[in-house]
Structure 1
């Protein structure tokens, strides 16, 4: 990505298309998420694609690229926000420019798998600021979690604290990131929602 001080992106919310059922029609698609139908025109999809890459782009410039009027563009963006498809805007920060950091992906397996066990673990990790991403996954373990820490000793101290907190961890495996050929990408909105595109 570019200079962190000059870039931000729009992130998609829980009502977005990526996992929701959808129906295609001539002018775009209709998303069906959580029982609510949200119609997305091709202009909406274009605006989403623009905002993900250039979240600070002025409305007038977005309108020109989407080939609509500025007032219509504002209406489209407002509707996307109201529907929860655009959830927020963020600046993209490069951790390596903040000094020495260590990125680690960690697999966690819980001892028990009742709803209460997952809830307790997730409440615990939500309070750890060095966890920047957490996913419940299928397969041989329960969670895949991404840490960004000050170094290996700092990472190990976080893990030891988690183990001592008795949140049900039975085992974990750590994978230190050596380099990131693709450090971050936006969601490929156009390609996901348009079957005719590769």
Structure 2
């Protein structure tokens, strides 16, 4: 991994907020000329610091849907159990996030579904597909008053590295 400097962090912060910015606009925002700025962006992409570019979709404008957080506890706790669950979960596109966590359960899922019955079918498919689920609990999201799309890079990392 290549060490990042202050300018690299500025580029990452700016791009996560303004992903459609032109290279000239980005260069001006971070205090570089366009050519070196483009070289840095390419380097950040090549090293994997920038995963992708995309549009944030206003799902609520497309129609009714549910966001459901689901706690999953597996029946076994060997590597093969975790691998089997993840293999099955990766095949379910409605599972948009899967986090391996500490505490009273093994995974926390974020599931997007059309309805409660659709969510139930998703979970039944996992249960019938021998994913190794011992039990699960779900929490239907009623509202999301705080959703941040980017990360507070300047609060998390020392951005003055050489």
TM-score bucket of the superposed structures, by smaller chain: over 0.9
Matched, 1:156 2:115: no
Structure of higher RCO (CA pairs closer than 8 Å, 6+ residues apart):
2
Partner of 1:81: 45
Structure (1/2) with the larger helix percentage: 2
Shift of 1:137: 0.2
Within a 5 Å distance, the mapping from 1:25-44 to structure 2 comes to 36=1, 38-44=2-8
CA–CA distance in structure 2, aligned partners of residues 94 and 107 of structure 1: 26
Q: Runs of 4 or more off by more than 2 Å in structure 1? A: none
Matched, 1:177 2:154: no
User: Which blocks of at least 5 consecutive residues in structure 1 are unaligned?
Assistant: 1-35
User: Which blocks of at least 5 consecutive residues in structure 2 are unaligned?
Assistant: none
TM-score by length of 1: 0.78
Structure (1/2) with the larger strand percentage: 1
CA distances 1:90-138 after superposition (whole Å, capped 9, x unpaired): 2111221110100000000001011111111000010101010000000
CA distances 1:144-179 after superposition (whole Å, capped 9, x unpaired): 000011011100111111111121111000000000
CA–CA distance in structure 1, aligned partners of residues 159 and 41 of structure 2: 23
| Partner SS, residue 108 of structure 1 | strand
Partner of 2:64: 100
TM-score by length of 2: 0.95
Pairs aligned (count) = 160
CA distances 1:34-67 after superposition (whole Å, capped 9, x unpaired): xx4x121111100000000111100000000111
CA–CA distance in structure 2, aligned partners of residues 162 and 179 of structure 1: 26
| Partner SS, residue 126 of structure 2 | helix
